[in-house]
Amino acid sequence: MTTATQFSRQDTEVLEDREPKSGAQLLLEALERQGVETIFGYPGGAIMPVYDVLPKTKLRHILCRHEQGCGMAAIGYARATGRVGTAFATSGPGATNLVTAIADAYLDSVPTVFVTGQVTSDLMGTDAFQEVDIFGITLPIVKHSYIARDPADIPGMVAEAYFIAAEGRPGPVLIDLPKDVANAVTTERHRWRPYPKVKPEMGQSDYITRAEEMIKAAEKPLFYIGGGIAQGDGVKELRELVERTEIPVVSTLKGLGALPSDHPHFLGMLGMHGLKAANFAVQECDLLIVAGARFDDRATGKLDTFAPHAKVIHMDIDIAEINKLRKVDVYLDGSLKKNLAALNPGKADIDEWRKLCYERRAEHAWDYKSPITSMKSGGVYAPKLLHDLSRRADDRAIFTCDVGQHQMWVAQHCYFDDPKDHITSGGLGTMGFGLPAGLGAKLGAPDRTVITVSGDGSIMMNIQELATLFRYDIPVKIVLLDNSALGMVRQWQEVFFDQNYSEVNLDDNPDFAKVAKAFQIDAFTVTRGDEVDAGIDRLLAAKGPILMHVKIDTYENVWPLVPPGRSNADMMER
């Protein structure tokens, strides 16, 4: 992705005079013209002119209780709807509190526009009160960014920002708005340069033919799919291609749902906490057909041992990802949707390979009936709870989750029928993501059930957003898995650091059900396995926001686990 400097006046022409309007008015009118309906924000001094105009518009503003919550909610909204998410913050700490959300959107390629207030133009660069160079701070983590210098630029700037956020490989765009520009009144509107035309996909037909020949010649082909499938609107085309070829499929964390979890050709998630059938298939395949994935280290393990016998076909809309980490034999850049539809090698003659892959899938399938330690003692086994909850929730449920052990359990044990069913922080791994993302997803998709799965470490990072749930009566269903520890860090300290448990003990946690009730959110606690069924019933039946606090074993770990620096074939088990 590229980052641009502020808008250049030489690319404009002055249009005829119009009704006098302030920069703040022009900003909000431009947002409405882009079809924006919901904004997540927090006011402050530098952005106050915008909030002064806001009540006069049709825009719905959601006051989150922390700017990071605003940004994560905008991401959840974008990922649940496929539309561009929008967040506002003021200058200084308001803007810097957005930085984690901006980075999260950048690493997960989420279409978002972030608008920050800024001190007046004459004070910029003087270390004024609540001034930071948010333009400079965010240069590495935005797709594009602007500083507004003239209110007449704002309508075109906004239009281009939303275009850039959504086109190609999506990502975050920043608009920094000085207070004097927001207050300034103008009758002018500057015409902006036309949107850039997408370059033609030269030679794609030749590459399609070569890819088809490679697929036909392969004895052990495998699809490796990622989040780009959904972002490139290629879910339908992927499913049709898999049906045509009957080639087995593995997925990254963000690719989950591109094929239904119970699809006959789906082997599961690969990588550090991937399923054994998926990781073994990658290590033994002779052709890896990569679609919308980028050879992330959590998926590949030790890169030079990843799919060591395989030739590679790589499809990605971002040419920068091609040959970045793995040399490919054929690449198809540009539209994933078009490339997936164009590939038609016919059904692969790979009966023995399919048989091996599917036998392994059956052999290593999860056993939710045989009791493990926590179940023997009458406790709650989190993977079984999540499995049962996923199957009993309606088939249009969206799961948002935080980061840690519970995140991996959700990926391993929940059922997803569509990529929008699963919203988590992938590339950045942001704790505190799940709750604000859940409320954003629910506001974007009000007719769908939204279930947020969090941990006792993660929930504390943005727990203030329970107040947002109450204020707007957003019926998010929260499952809080409480093991009185920073579970994933504790697991790594157990396995790789000789059980030197350093700063992971959370046994002084509050009573989370009481905390939720203090926010006027319905809540209850589950401590035993025989309470789970009734707890799930109560959770799913609730009409408003609700929190199910689940106490689980501190020492329950996520398995399998590929140790750092090792091949995906070297999976540790319980």
User: From CA 140, how far away is CA 142, in angstroms rounded?
Assistant: 6
Residues with catalytic function: 67, 129-130, 179, 488
Cα 466 to Cα 415, 416, 480, distances in angstroms: 26, 26, 13
The CA R_g of the chain, rounded to the nearest whole Å, is 25
Please name the helix (run of DSSP H) or strand (run of DSSP E) that holds residue 442, with its range, or none: helix 434-444
User: From CA 26, how far away is CA 186, in angstroms rounded?
Assistant: 10
Per the document, the length of the chain is: 574
User: From CA 153, how far away is CA 23, in angstroms rounded?
Assistant: 9
DSSP structural state of residue 140 = G
For the CA atoms of 396, 398, 404, 410, the dihedral, rounded to the nearest 10 degrees, stands at 0
Cα 351 to Cα 215, 219, 246, 355, 365, distances in angstroms: 14, 9, 10, 6, 21
From 64, 139, 72, select the one nearest 100 (Cα to Cα): 72
Q: Tell me, what amino acid is at 153?
A: D
Q: What is the largest CA-CA distance in the chain?
A: 77
C-beta atoms surrounding 149 within 10 Å: 16
C-beta atoms surrounding 358 within 10 Å: 15
Structure-token pair, residue 102: 């901006």
The answer to whether the bond into 560 is cis (omega within 30° of 0) is: yes
Q: Which residue has the tokens 């929930």?
A: 459
Cα 523 to Cα 69, 197, 448, 474, 512, distances in angstroms: 21, 52, 21, 15, 8
